[in-house]
């Protein structure tokens, strides 16, 4: 599934192509003027495309950074849980050992 950024980019590129064709068909300009206008139009389209690309890159970088942070938080939570469980098990073993050593037997 494409995101709205991709849809916007495809819509922009499609509109650019339709506009260029319409301009060529209906332009009452000389060849030199038409080439100048097409060059300006191409530069503007290229700049906008570069801006869209940079924005998409930044969104992707932010998504990766966010995923890494969530992963680190998850791992740290798992470590803490394991430490707590290990401590509880160690305490239980110590308690059972003391019961056995004192001759009371296991519960």
Structure confidence at residue 1 (pLDDT): 46
pTM for the model stands at 0.49
DSSP string, 25-91: HH--S-HHHHHHHHHHHHHHHHHHHHHHHHHHHHHHHHHHHHHHHHHHHHHHHHHHHHHHHHHHHHH
Instruction: Identify the pLDDT of residue 2.
Output: 54
Indicate the SS3 state at residue 2.
coil
Q: What pLDDT shows up at residue 65?
A: 96
What pLDDT is attached to residue 35? 80
The domain ranges of the chain are 4-101
- 53-99 tens-digit pLDDT: 999 999 999 999 999 999 999 999 999 999 999 999 999 999 999 99
**pLDDT for position 105:** 54
Separation of alpha carbons 69 and 75, rounded Å: 10
């Amino acid at each position: 599934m494409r995101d709205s950024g991709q849809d916007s980019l495809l819509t922009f590129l499609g509109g650019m192509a339709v506009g260029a064709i319409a301009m060529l068909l209906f332009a009452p300009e000389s060849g030199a003027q038409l080439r100048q206008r097409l060059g300006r139009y191409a530069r503007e389209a290229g700049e906008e495309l570069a801006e869209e690309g940079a924005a998409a890159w930044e969104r992707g970088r932010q998504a990766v950074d966010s995923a890494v942070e969530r992963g680190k938080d998850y791992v740290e939570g798992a470590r803490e849980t394991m430490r707590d469980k290990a401590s509880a098990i160690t305490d239980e073993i110590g308690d059972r050992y003391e019961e056995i050593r004192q001759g009371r037997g296991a519960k």
